[in-house]
């Protein structure tokens, strides 16, 4: 690269980091990888996964799964952040 120039990839990454779209794109990445992160059984009984202001909101109507996920909050945060490659999720809420 010449002095003062930026690659297209670097420019796109910088744009995405400053964009208002980043939280929504991060949420979509989590949703797309939810089965890989948590496994088929948990993914099957999870109705929705949302990311709102660094809170991962997991919705399920299965009471035993709610209990299991409640006990696994720290593990979920760790797994999701590892998949994303950055510390995005700070808290998990189960509904």
- 19: in domain: yes
Q: Domain range spanning residue 23?
A: 8-94
- The 3-class SS string of the chain reads CCCCCCCHHHHHHHHHHHCCCHHHHHHHHHHHHHHHHHCHHHHHCCCEEEEECCEEEEECCCHHHHHHHHHCHHHHHHHHHHHHCCCCCCEEEEC
Q: What is the mean pLDDT of each run of 10 residues along the chain (95 residues)?
A: 75 80 90 96 95 95 94 96 94 96
**Number of domains within the chain:** 1
- 89: in domain: yes
pLDDT in tens, 37-52: 999 999 999 999 999 9
- 1: in domain: no
Please state, in angstroms and rounded to a whole number, the distance separating the CA atoms of residues 10 and 15.
9
CATH number (domain holding residue 77): 3.30.300
- 3: in domain: no
pTM (predicted TM-score): 0.81
């Amino acid at each position: 690269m010449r002095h003062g120039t930026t690659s297209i990839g670097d420019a796109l990454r910088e744009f995405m980091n400053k964009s208002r779209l980043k939280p929504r794109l991060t949420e979509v990445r989590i949703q797309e990888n939810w089965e890989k992160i948590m496994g088929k059984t948990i993914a099957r009984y999870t109705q929705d996964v949302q990311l709102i202001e660094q809170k991962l909101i997991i919705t399920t109507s299965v009471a035993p799964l709610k209990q299991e996920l409640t006990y696994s909050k720290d593990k979920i945060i760790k797994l999701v952040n590892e998949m994303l490659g950055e510390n995005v999720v700070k808290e998990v809420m189960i509904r």
